Amino acid sequence: MRIDIITVLPELIKSPFEHSIIKRAIDKGIVEVYFHNLRDYSKNKYKQIDDTQFGGGSGMVMMIEPIDKCISKLKSEQNYDEIVYMTPDAPTLNQAMANQLSLLKNIIILAGHYKGVDQRVRDLFITKEISIGDYVLSGGELGAAVLCDSIIRLIPGVLNDETSALSDSFQDNLLAPPVYTRPSDYKGHKVPDILLSGNFAKIDEWRSQKAMERTQLIRPDLLED
Ligand code: ADE
Q: Cα separations (Å) of 59 from 20, 62, 114, 128? A: 37, 10, 6, 24
CATH architecture of 169-224: Orthogonal Bundle (1.10)
C-beta 133 within 6 A of ligand 1: yes
Nearest Cα residue to 181 out of 167, 171, 192: 192
Q: Which CATH class name applies to 2-152? A: alpha beta
Which residue ranges does the chain devote to CATH 1.10.1270.20?
169-224
Percent of the chain residues topping a pLDDT of 90: 92
Residue 88 has pLDDT above 80, yes or no: yes
Residue with the smallest CA separation from ligand 1 atom 9 is 87
- Probe target for ligand 1 pocket from 9, 85, 87, with the most ligand atoms within 8 Å of CB: 87
Per-residue model confidence as pLDDT tens digits over 102-149:
999 999 999 998 889 999 999 999 999 999 999 999 999 999 999 999
Determine the distance separating the centroid of ligand 1 and the alpha carbon of 134, expressed in angstroms: 8
Residues 6+ apart with CB under 8 A from 20: none
* Parallel/antiparallel/unpaired status of strands 50-52 and 60-62: antiparallel
Distance between CA 18 and CA 141 in Å, rounded?
15
Q: What pLDDT is recorded for position 162?
A: 59
Determine the distance separating the centroid of ligand 1 and the alpha carbon of 47, expressed in angstroms: 24
Q: What is the DSSP letter of 193?
A: G
Residue with the smallest CA separation from ligand 1 atom 7 is 131
C-beta 145 within 6 A of ligand 1: no
Determine the distance separating the centroid of ligand 1 and the alpha carbon of 149, expressed in angstroms: 15
